[in-house]
Amino acid sequence: MCGIVGYIGTQQAAPLLTLGLSKLEYRGYDSAGIAVADAAGEASMRRAVGKLRNLQHSLDSAPLAGRAGIGHTRWATHGAPSEINSHPHRDATGTVFVVHNGIIENYAEIRVELEAQGVEFRSQTDTEVLPNLIKRAYDECQNLPRAIRSALQGVRGAYALAVMHSAVPDTVVAVRQTSPLVIGLGEGENFCASDALAILSETRRIIFLDNGEMAFLRAEGVEVFDLESGARRQKEVQQLDWSADSANKGDFPHFMLKEVHEQPAVMERLLHHYADEEKGCIAFPHIGLSREELRGVRRIFIQACGTSWHAGLVGKLLIERLGLISVDVDTSSEFRYRNVAPHTGGAILDSDTLVIAISQSGETADTLAGVQEAKERGLKVISVVNMPASSIVRASDGVIYTHAGPEVSVASTKAYIGQIGALYLLSLYLGEIHGLIDRARMKRRLEKFAEVPRLMREILADDSGIQRAAQRFWLAEHAFFIGRGYGQPSALEGALKLKEISYIHAEGYAAGELKHGPIALIDEKMPVVAIATQGVTYEKILSNMQEVRARGGKLIAVAGEDDEEVGKYADFVLRVPELTESFTPFVVALPMQLLAYHIAVLRDYDVDMPRNLAKSVTVE
């Protein structure tokens, strides 16, 4: 959602802040602003509604000077998008500046209290209470660390803050309470940001703040303290191996298209990190559970949100088939309310039950809450995450990284492939541990896994058929996606991609559910995308396609390259390589993603930053 960038060092802050904010545009926002301060404590602020370029035009015409600063892209919660509601916010005297991600739950009562003391508010936001609280506390103690700790004692909510005080111009303060915040370490300069991607071009030496931590950034160094006690914290410095080029589109018109084309490389990285094809073995170095503990697992709960939930549905089919372990899949917002195990005060209750949490960012609020709930109930948790050292990773017993690299487009593509790839390897690993997959079978599976990137590249090399289908249906108002078996999660994910970026109302269904209600909506204006790859349900999906055709629906089929039968029923056939059924989600994802992409482009929408959506959803 909202984005934060902070800087202090020897360079002019404004250009670095706007550069960092440009890397956070993917998060979704409606306004942007920065505040900078010089060595004498003279501070200036500039804000603008709309795209970041509006702020940049303002700064080009009247630059702001200063070597310390904070910046923000705002996604409106309290108060409509406007210059006065944009961040940064300052206290009534203009000495304390704050940018804020998250929500202050008790801001209304704090505002009443401050107004009774004579404070005049300019905005309708919850954030504006914070600089006024900090100013009041600083006037009392003349100590910035103590003032911030004191000011935040009565604040309830989830938030990340970057703070400047004109009386302490050599310091930028970063505070984390649930909402993510990272620190970047440079030479004679330091950074803070809500996402490492914002500062990747300047440094890859990162400190991940934990909840309840406060960092003091100065040009010469960074100190981290416990927000409640004030005690000094020692923090590990992580060296990210992501390339700064990951945040650039290269020769592609959109990040989404670039990231679709990066998916074969994601598969190759997964194989490189976790598998040895020649030996026929898999190893997860950070999984956190011993082979004996995993051998005792008899039930798995997968919890995730959005696209990650769809990956979990694929994971369920894989684990149940290859590992013969019963799997439940929940959306995270519902999982935390299930009584999967009584509260045990931290004692291990069900050693045979495992929770798998899936998240691209590792900061998804609902998924993190589900992890914490599972841990409180004494359950073991493994996370499948893209972002190293993120909150979900730190809260879990172990992690399988997806190695997808930075994903900028709001609509997830390569992260999804990384997730189902990681789950595929995990299902093989569990099958081997449980004595169901021998060395020879493992080698065959890994060899087939290694072939998938080449087959994916063949699809990507020519998407002209997908473009023709997009040309035919880009004016549609509604669409259905149907599938069976492994095709059902693919149908759900295809529908989500279409609705996310083209704003066409789309629904995904298990194909057998058509006749239980949805078929009433099918007519000649309703395009239906059918996942019709070969497998145990192939004949069933052909019957479902005939049901659609009999009612005038227009059919787009995703089918094997040698399948002639499916062409009898479909208006368009999007061809994919013929694969063992459990591998089909990897190749089926590509035409689903590209169909949504080309339709969104034809409708002239912002593919990478769809309206009302954010990349990292850090509020519940």
CA distance 313 to 298: 18
Those residues whose C-beta lies under 8 Å from the C-beta of residue 512, and which sit 6 or more positions away, are: 484, 540, 544
Return the C-alpha torsion angle 416, 589, 408, 332, nearest 10: -40
Does residue 23 carry a catalytic annotation? no
The residue with tokens 């058509």 is 514
CA distance 569 to 319: 33
Which of 76-80, 364-368, 456-460, 464-468 is predicted least confidently? 76-80
Strands (E), 79-226: 89-90, 96-104, 157-165, 172-177, 182-185, 190-193, 205-208, 213-218, 221-226
Side-chain-facing half-sphere of 89: CA atoms under 13 Å: 27
Those residues whose C-beta lies under 8 Å from the C-beta of residue 493, and which sit 6 or more positions away, are: 307, 310, 416, 508, 589, 592
pLDDT value at residue 318: 97
Measured CA distances, 189 to 44, 88, 228 (Å): 20, 21, 27
**pLDDT for 518-566, tens place per residue?**
888 888 888 999 999 999 989 999 999 989 888 888 999 999 998 989 9
CA distance 100 to 343: 34
> Which residues are 184's β-sheet partners?
191, 206
Amino acid (1-letter code) at residue 416:
Y
Mean pLDDT for 304-329 is 96
Res. 619 pLDDT band, cuts 50 70 90: low
Mean pLDDT for 130-146 is 94
pLDDT value at residue 241: 77
Q: Which of 135, 497, 499, 615 is catalytic?
A: 615
**pLDDT for 183-195, tens place per residue?**
999 999 999 999 8
DSSP state of 413: S
Domain segments of the chain: what residues? Answer: 3-246, 249-455, 462-602
Q: Cis omega (within 30 of 0) on the bond before 88?
A: yes
Mean pLDDT for 418-444 is 96
pLDDT value at residue 186: 95
Burial class (CB in 10 A: 0-12, 13-18, 19+), 349: middle
Domain 462-602, CATH? 3.40.50.10490
The radius of gyration computed from the CA coordinates of the chain, to the nearest angstrom, equals 26
CA distance 331 to 300: 14
Q: Which of 2, 192, 258, 414 is catalytic?
A: 2
Mean pLDDT for 409-417 is 95
Domain 249-455, CATH? 3.40.50.10490
Task: Compute the mean pLDDT over every residue in the chain, rounded to the nearest whole number.
Answer: 92
Mean pLDDT for 231-260 is 85
pLDDT value at residue 196: 87
Task: Return the CATH architecture of domain 3-246.
Answer: 4-Layer Sandwich (3.60)
pLDDT value at residue 342: 58
Mean pLDDT for 32-43 is 92
CB atoms under 10 Å from CB of 372, counted, come to 15
pLDDT value at residue 349: 46
Q: Are 504 and 478 in contact (CB under 8 A)?
A: yes
CA distance 620 to 365: 6
Res. 476 pLDDT band, cuts 50 70 90: very high
Q: What percent of the chain has pLDDT over 70?
A: 96
pLDDT value at residue 386: 93
CA distance 252 to 256: 9
CA distance 53 to 55: 5
Helices (H), 336-438: 365-376, 391-395, 414-433
Res. 35 pLDDT band, cuts 50 70 90: very high
Does residue 497 carry a catalytic annotation? no
Which of 12-16, 389-393, 503-507 is predicted least confidently? 389-393
Residue 479 clears pLDDT 70, i.e. is over it: yes
CA distance 617 to 620: 8
CB atoms under 10 Å from CB of 119, counted, come to 18
CB atoms under 10 Å from CB of 13, counted, come to 27
The residue with tokens 């694929």 is 314
Same CATH topology for 249-455 and 462-602?
yes
Mean pLDDT for 430-459 is 96
Q: Which of 533, 570, 354, 318 is nearest to 427 (CA)?
A: 318
Mean pLDDT for 584-600 is 97
CB atoms under 10 Å from CB of 123, counted, come to 16
Mean pLDDT for 56-69 is 95
CA distance 51 to 41: 29
pLDDT value at residue 589: 98
pLDDT value at residue 343: 52
pLDDT value at residue 614: 62
**pLDDT for 352-403, tens place per residue?**
899 999 999 888 889 999 999 999 889 999 999 998 878 899 899 999 999 9
* Comparison of pLDDT for 470 and 390, the residue scoring more: 470
pLDDT value at residue 615: 60
